[in-house]
Amino acid sequence: MNTLGRIFRLSLFGESHGPAIGALIDGCPAGVPLSTGDFVADLTRRGPGANGTTARRETDAVRLVSGVFRGRTTGAPILVEIANADVDSAAYAALEDLPRPGHADLPAHHKSGGHRDHRGGGASSGRLTAALVAAGVVARRALEASFVAPIRFEARLVEAGGSADIEAAVAEAARLGTSIGGVIEGRVTGLPIGLGEPFFDTVEGLLSHALFAIPGVKGVEFGLGFQFAQESGDECRDAILARGGRCQRNVSGGVDGGMANGNAVCFRLAVKPAVSFGELRTVSLSTGEQRVLAMSGRHDACFARRLPVVVEAVSAVVTLDLMRLSGRVGEVVGASEGLSRD
> 321-340: which residues touch its own copies (CB under 8 A)?
324-335, 338-340
Among 62, 135, 247, 316, binds its own copies (CB under 8 A): 247
81 binds its own copies (CB under 8 A): yes
201 binds its own copies (CB under 8 A): yes
Within 13 Å and on the Cβ side, how many CA atoms surround 169?
20
9 binds its own copies (CB under 8 A): yes
In angstroms, how far is CA 165 from the centroid of its own chain? Answer: 23
295 binds its own copies (CB under 8 A): no
86 binds its own copies (CB under 8 A): no
Burial class (CB in 10 A: 0-12, 13-18, 19+), 109: middle
34 binds its own copies (CB under 8 A): no
For 63, left (φ over 0), alpha (ψ -120 to 50), or beta? beta
Question: Smallest distance from the beta carbon of 324 to its own copies, in angstroms?
Answer: 7
89 binds its own copies (CB under 8 A): no
97 binds its own copies (CB under 8 A): no
Only one of the segments 35-43, 46-54, 135-143, 319-327 lies at the binding site for its own copies (rule: CB under 8 A); that segment is: 319-327
Cα angle, residue 206 at apex, residues 203 and 211 outer, rounded to 5° = 115
- In the complex with its own copies, the residue whose CB is nearer, 41 or 263, is 263
Taking every pair of C-alpha atoms in the chain, what is the biggest distance, in angstroms? 69
120 binds its own copies (CB under 8 A): no
Only one of the segments 38-46, 54-62, 87-95, 277-285 lies at the binding site for its own copies (rule: CB under 8 A); that segment is: 277-285
Cα–Cα distance measured from residue 30 to residue 136, given in angstroms and rounded to the nearest whole number: 16
Question: Smallest distance from the beta carbon of 167 to its own copies, in angstroms?
Answer: 16
Phi (first) and psi of residue 202, to 5 degrees: -70, 155
Residue type (1 letter), 15: E
Could you tell me which residues come within 8 angstroms of residue 109 by beta carbon, excluding any fewer than 6 positions away? 99, 116, 118, 285
Cα–Cα distance measured from residue 134 to residue 49, given in angstroms and rounded to the nearest whole number: 18
Which residues from 12-31 bind its own copies, rule CB under 8 A? 12-15, 18-22, 24, 26-27, 30-31
Among 162, 165, 168, 175, binds its own copies (CB under 8 A): 162
240 binds its own copies (CB under 8 A): yes
Among 117, 130, 142, 143, binds its own copies (CB under 8 A): 117
Binding mask 209-228 toward its own copies (x if CB under 8 A, else -) reads xxxxx-x-xxxxxxxxxxxx
Which residues from 130-159 bind its own copies, rule CB under 8 A? 159
236 binds its own copies (CB under 8 A): yes
Could you tell me which residues come within 8 angstroms of residue 54 by beta carbon, excluding any fewer than 6 positions away? 48, 298, 299, 300, 303
Question: Smallest distance from the beta carbon of 21 to its own copies, in angstroms?
Answer: 7
Only one of the segments 35-43, 49-57, 60-68, 136-144 lies at the binding site for its own copies (rule: CB under 8 A); that segment is: 60-68
Cα–Cα distance measured from residue 129 to residue 213, given in angstroms and rounded to the nearest whole number: 9
Q: Which residues pair with 82 in a beta bridge?
A: 21, 62
Q: Would you say the C-alpha torsion 331, 334, 339, 342 has a positive or negative sign? A: negative
